[in-house]
Amino acid sequence: MSIKPQRGLGAMEPYAPGKSIEAVQREYGLEDIIKLASNENPLGPSPKAVAAIQDALSQLNLYPDSQSCVLRETIAHSLGFDPIQIAVGNGADDIIQQVCLAYLDENSEVLVSRSSFPVYDKFVHTMRATLVKTPLRDYRLDLEAMADAITAKTKLVFVCNPNNPTGTIVTAGEVHTFMDKVPDHVLVIFDEAYYEFVAAAAYPDSLGYLRKGHSNVMTMRTFSKAYGLSGLRLGYAIAAPDVIAPLYQVKGIFTVNLLAQVAGIAAWEDQDFLQKSIEVNRAGLRFFYREFARLGLPYLESHGNFILVNLGPRALNIQQQLLARGIIVRPCNHYDLPEFLRISVGTEVQNARFIVALEEILSKMASGE
Ligand SMILES: *Cc1c(COP(=O)(O)O)cnc(C)c1O
């Protein structure tokens, strides 16, 4: 082929999407599939968001508000910021893209951790910027190593907290030490996609830095996880006005659609649903801790709505056998963690079905079948 895509695409790993429910139904001839692979909310979407969408359907002939004014006001006022400090996107993924478009070029370096969210890599490569990765330490982001890796060319640092896929957090103390070392030319982006699920007292208050006048921080969150709106696509970020403004210069004008705007406002106010989601997740994690301990399987304690379990060299084999039983989980070879599977916390029934299947597979393997 003579029409070549731009050079940045050569550095990109092909995206490895999880299998869809439909694909597994077709491939294995199974009806009853459970997907514990994408950290979606097992309770469904916020009912208030669904009602708001139903009310707005008759307006679909109209373009959405390109500024998402009401949505941004809702978020800003509730968090104690000005609406000009709020960015919105077609999912937090879109905000990552906006940040990369707005801040990167061929001379930029971007710092991320190994075994972290792959969407950062994708858009950094698109901009032909240089991706620098530091190793994990004890399955946690190593902020000391990240601080040491900052150079004059570093533009962005992505701190995924809790980290996907490990579920670990960096603490307020670690972030404090880190922020003291970060020079002003570096924007630190706290990706808090799982913020709502975190209960740890040591979890840092990233917005506190902004409140104290730090202009080189951004906090990014999403409606995809605790609010149950993955399919709708809505994410947001909070930062200083001067940091947000360039995002509006590069952003697709109507990327946050009309339904996402009204549903986001309704979901934001649906505290009952949020609390229920958090409780179901907490109970699910406790169940997994107990069951993995009973099965003698090492796991990482999680601050998100998913858990990493270590199945050794047979992890991928076990993942395939789970698929054949209609259970989709996430292999972690693409995250440099080939011995682990990442399991999203489901409903009580789904979690139990996963454990039954896993135990069955393990005992068959043990008996050499
Ligand atoms: C799920 C996730 C996101 C964003 O998801 P969107 O659906 O694009 O809002 C961002 N960061 C991490 C670490 C995630 O796991």
222 and 297 inside one domain: no
112-116-120 Cα angle (round to 5): 55
Query: Residue 369 pLDDT more than 70?
Result: no
Any residues with CB less than 8 A from the CB of 180 and at least 6 apart, and which?
Answer: none
Total domains, the chain: 2
Confidence grade of residue 2 (pLDDT, cut at 50, 70, 90): confident
The DSSP letter of residue 6 is P
Give the separation between CA 88 and CA 220, rounded to whole angstroms: 10
146 and 162 inside one domain: yes
Give the nearest ligand 1 atom to 93 CA: 8
pLDDT of residue 1: 60
pLDDT in tens, 331-343: 999 999 999 999 9
302 and 198 inside one domain: no
Query: Residue 345 pLDDT more than 90?
Result: yes
What ranges make up the beta strands (E) of 161-313?
187-191, 217-222, 235-239, 306-310
Q: What is the CATH number of the domain that holds 170?
A: 3.40.640.10
- Interval between CA 193 and ligand 1 midpoint (Å): 5
Average confidence (pLDDT) over 268-294 = 98
Give the nearest ligand 1 atom to 230 CA: 7
DSSP codes of every residue in 118-174 = THHHHHHHHTTPEEEEEPPBTTB--HHHHHHT--TTEEEEEEESSPTTT-----HHH
3-state SS, residue 252: coil
249 and 123 inside one domain: yes
Give the separation between CA 125 and CA 96, rounded to whole angstroms: 12
Last residue of a domain, one of 210, 234, 269: 269
pLDDT of residue 234: 98
Task: Look at residue 16 and tell me if it is in a domain.
Answer: yes
191 and 265 inside one domain: yes
248 and 354 inside one domain: no
Q: What is the CATH number of the domain that holds 351?
A: 3.90.1150.10
Calculate what percentage of the chain has a pLDDT beyond 90. 91
97 and 196 inside one domain: yes
* Contact call for residues 163 and 138 (beta carbons, < 8 A): no
178 and 259 inside one domain: yes
Task: Look at residue 49 and tell me if it is in a domain.
Answer: no
37 and 117 inside one domain: no
Query: Residue 12 pLDDT more than 90?
Result: no
Query: Residue 8 pLDDT more than 90?
Result: no
Last residue of a domain, one of 269, 304, 339: 269
Task: Look at residue 112 and tell me if it is in a domain.
Answer: yes
- Interval between CA 190 and ligand 1 midpoint (Å): 12
- Interval between CA 179 and ligand 1 midpoint (Å): 23
pLDDT of residue 19: 82
Task: Look at residue 38 and tell me if it is in a domain.
Answer: yes
Is 305 touching ligand 1 by the criterion CB < 6 Å?
no
pLDDT in tens, 207-229: 999 999 999 999 999 999 999 99
Last residue of a domain, one of 249, 269, 289: 269
* Contact call for residues 189 and 158 (beta carbons, < 8 A): yes
Is 222 touching ligand 1 by the criterion CB < 6 Å?
yes
Calculate what percentage of the chain has a pLDDT beyond 70. 99
Give the nearest ligand 1 atom to 223 CA: 9
Mean pLDDT of the residues in the chain: 96
pLDDT of residue 368: 81
Q: Which H or E element spans position 200?
A: none
Give the separation between CA 112 and CA 337, rounded to whole angstroms: 16
Any residues with CB less than 8 A from the CB of 321 and at least 6 apart, and which?
Answer: 361
Task: Return the number of other C-beta atoms located less than 10 Å from residue 322's C-beta.
Answer: 21
Is 219 touching ligand 1 by the criterion CB < 6 Å?
no
Domain range for 95? 63-269
**pTM (predicted TM-score):** 0.97
Is 191 touching ligand 1 by the criterion CB < 6 Å?
yes
pLDDT in tens, 31-69: 899 999 999 999 999 999 999 999 999 999 999 999 999
251 and 112 inside one domain: yes
Average confidence (pLDDT) over 104-133 = 97
Task: Look at residue 5 and tell me if it is in a domain.
Answer: no
pLDDT in tens, 75-115: 999 999 999 999 999 999 999 999 999 999 999 999 999 99
Rg (CA), the chain: 21
Give the separation between CA 90 and CA 253, rounded to whole angstroms: 11
Give the separation between CA 87 and CA 368, rounded to whole angstroms: 55
Query: Residue 328 pLDDT more than 80?
Result: yes
* Contact call for residues 218 and 241 (beta carbons, < 8 A): no
Task: Look at residue 139 and tell me if it is in a domain.
Answer: yes
Task: Look at residue 4 and tell me if it is in a domain.
Answer: no
pLDDT of residue 198: 98
* Contact call for residues 89 and 95 (beta carbons, < 8 A): yes
pLDDT of residue 192: 98
Confidence grade of residue 184 (pLDDT, cut at 50, 70, 90): very high
213 and 97 inside one domain: yes
158 and 218 inside one domain: yes
* Contact call for residues 91 and 112 (beta carbons, < 8 A): no
Q: Quote the tokens at residue 135.
A: 């190793």
Task: Look at residue 58 and tell me if it is in a domain.
Answer: no
Q: Which of 40, 100, 164, 255 for a ligand 1 pocket mutation test, highest count of atoms within 8 Å of Cβ? A: 164
